[in-house]
Every structure is written in structure tokens, then in C-alpha cells.
Amino acid sequence: MVVLNKKVIKMKKVKALVLRAAGVNCNKESVKALEMAGAARVDEIHINVIKKNSSLLKDYHLMVIPGGFSYGDYVGAGKILANEIKFILYDSFKEFVREGKIVIGICNGFQILVKTGFLTLDESLYDQSFSLIENDSRRFECRWVHLKINTGSLFFKKLPEVIYLPVAHNEGKFVAGQQENIHNLKDQNRVGLYYCMDDGSVCRGQYPFNPNGAEKDIAGIINSKGNVLGMMPHPERFILSGQHPFYQSLKWNKMKIHPFGLEIFKNAVRFS
């Protein structure tokens, strides 16, 4: 609780859910990030448990769909888990989003949100407007990238305009099918993050600053209501200053390190 002008204000105890499935491998890091961000309770729940009792979702304020290779990505990245949500749990997930609860899909989770239609242009239809396809490099990209963020989004409050996070994916190239879709995303202020140069300037698809060839350097998008974020970079892998790749040299030069990933989770908890 918080005391303000001798009045006691009770803070909401945020309960967070980290969705699990076979092949998901960033769940523990996501749990730790949410705990460090101040969530009162964080539960890992397997998709099979929710399929048996979808009313469980009503107990939570915040959901993270973490990265990994759900079901081995055997029929496409995130496709099987996306189908389980879309064809079995659609109404429950839709209600979760409509109530304004927070959802973050990271890497494989981003792929899932796109394929379920929870990140689409026409949210009355919940169809698939975008996709995430094989990297232009034709290989798994595991590196740190600079990102220019949408500072108006609740997820990026109090963050600088340019942040630094790691990526780790094989199918991270954001494509919109038609250029009109990209224009609509921008017009609606729904691009959450762009890959950029280290000074924040546009990289125009230049590798490795744009690690996958994403159209218009798009690294993440948000829904129209602003409570659902899908992003390819991994914020849960930068929640401690010691995780920065240049930690030792920065520490030696007495430069402060900001774990930008943790701040994203703090914002998610704060606005839940």
C-alpha cells in the first residue's frame, strides 16, 4: 500500500500468468522478470490445463506468452499453439483482451499472437493480417540490437527513445503482405518497436542492425487498444545489468547500465 496525504491507497496485487506448452523455453526467465517487476503472484500454467478449465484466465491481470519453439515449430513457428488458442480457447482469450488486461507475446509468442489474429488490422474479424517468416540471412540470428520505441505505448513508459535488447530467432522477418497494411499500422500508431542504428537513425533493412529483413524495420506491434504487445526481441533476457554484453567494460568506465527489459515488465505490471 501507499500512504498519500495521510490517506491509505491500496495497490492492486497483480497476478500474472506465463503460458507454457511443449517446446517453450523462456518461461522461467519470464517468471523471474515478472517477479522482479513487482507482480504479487506469477504462475506458469500449461496450455492443456487452460483447455480443461478456461475460467482460470479470469484470475489473472497479465499474461506473457514466452519465446521458444512451441511444439517444435514443426508446421510453422507458433502455428500449433496458435491453433489451440484460436479454435479451442478463442472466446476466453478474446475476453481477456477486451477487458483491457495486458498481454505480451515475445518471439514465439509474437508469432502466436499474429497467427491467432489478436494482433491484426481488423480487430472485428480477428483474422491474420501479418506474418513472421524466415530471416533473410537463412539462419538463426542470436545477437543484440538497438530498437527505437514507441514512447507513447504503456509498455515503454519512462524508457529512452532507443533501447538495447537481444534477439534469438529463425523466423523473425515481419511481413505485412500489402504496403497498405504497413501504412495503416503507422497511421494507427501501432508500431511498438523498430530496429535501428545505434544512434537511433533508420537502418532501412541494413543487416545486422535489422537482423531478419523485417519490412520497414518493424520489430514489434501493439493492438489498437494498446494492451497487447508482440515483439521479436527478448526483454526477459535483459533484466539484470550483468546480462549486458559489455557489462565489464561499462562497469570499468563507471557507466550506468539500465536493464531495459525489466522496465518493460515493470510497465506491464504497473498498468495491469
Per the structure block, which three cell numbers stand in for 10?
491500496
Phi, psi of 231 (to 5 degrees): -145, 140
Catalytic residue check, 134: no
List the catalytic residue out of 107, 146, 196, 263.
Answer: 107
Domain range annotation of the chain: 11-270
Among residues 139, 136, 159, the alpha carbon closest in space to that of 149 is found at 159
- What is the pLDDT, as a whole number, of residue 8? 43
Rounded Cα–Cα distance for residues 121 and 179 (Å): 13
46 is a catalytic site residue? no
User: For residue 156, which of 42, 65, 271 has the smallest C-alpha distance?
Assistant: 271
CA distance 169 to 127: 24
Structure confidence at residue 179 (pLDDT): 83
Give the global pTM: 0.94
CATH code: domain 11-270 is 3.40.50.880
Q: What is the distance between the alpha carbons of residues 155 and 21, in angstroms, rounded to a whole number?
A: 25
> Residue 90: what pLDDT?
95
pLDDT score of 11:
53
Quote the pLDDT of residue 10. 46
Q: Is-catalytic flag, 258?
A: no
61, 146, 234, 244: which is the annotated catalytic residue? 234
Per-residue 3-state assignment (H helix, E strand, C coil) for the chain: CEEECCEEECCCCCEEEEEECCCECCHHHHHHHHHHHCCCEEEEEEHHHHHHCHHHHHHCCEEEECCECHHHHECECCHHHHHHHHHHCHHHHHHHHHCCCEEEEECHHHHHHHHHCCCCCCCCCCCCCCEEECCCCCCCEEEEEEEEECCCCHHHCCCCCEEEEEEEECCCEEECCCHHHHHHHHHCCCEEEEEECCCCCECCCCCCCCCCCCHHHEEEEECCCCCEEEECCCHHHCCCHHHCCCHHHHHHCCCCCCCHHHHHHHHHHHCC
Q: Which of the residues 141, 236, 244, 263 is marked catalytic?
A: 236
Cα–Cα dist 20/231, whole Å: 18
Counting Cβ atoms within 10 Å, is residue 4 exposed (0-12), middle (13-18) or buried (19+)? exposed
List per-residue pLDDT tens for the chain, 272 residues long.
444 454 444 457 999 999 999 999 999 999 999 999 999 999 999 999 999 999 999 999 999 999 999 999 998 999 999 999 999 999 999 999 999 999 999 999 999 999 999 999 888 788 899 999 999 999 999 999 999 999 999 999 999 999 999 999 999 999 998 888 999 999 999 999 999 999 999 999 999 999 999 999 999 999 999 999 999 999 999 999 999 999 999 989 999 999 999 999 999 999 99
